[in-house]
Amino acid sequence: MSPRRFAMKLKRLREARGMTQDLLAKRVRVSRGYLSRLEMGRHDPPLSLLRRLAKELRVKVAQLVE
């Protein structure tokens, strides 16, 4: 999956759950700035972060990256 496609999916899922960047960042233990850069497609998250994101967004890791 391209970083841009992942970024759009992450943002869409976060917004669908009614979460702010601040809230999701706190729950997955990253800075809001880093989460923002993920949503802009500037970073590829490590697997450990993908797992935490998937858990908070109530999806499977595979759904997050497909």
Task: Give me the pLDDT at residue 8, please.
Answer: 94
Task: Give me the pLDDT at residue 66, please.
Answer: 84
Answer whether 0.75 is exceeded by the pTM: yes
Which amino acid is it at 18?
G
The Cα–Cα gap between 36 and 14 comes to 12
Residue that is written with structure tokens 């391209």 in the block: 2
pLDDT tens string 34-53: 999 999 999 889 999 999 99
Q: What CATH number is attached to the domain comprising 39?
A: 1.10.260.40
Angle between helices 47-57 and 3-16 in degrees, nearest 10: 30
Task: Give me the pLDDT at residue 53, please.
Answer: 98
* pLDDT above 90 for 1: no
Domain containing 45: what range? 3-65
The total number of structural domains in the chain stands at 1
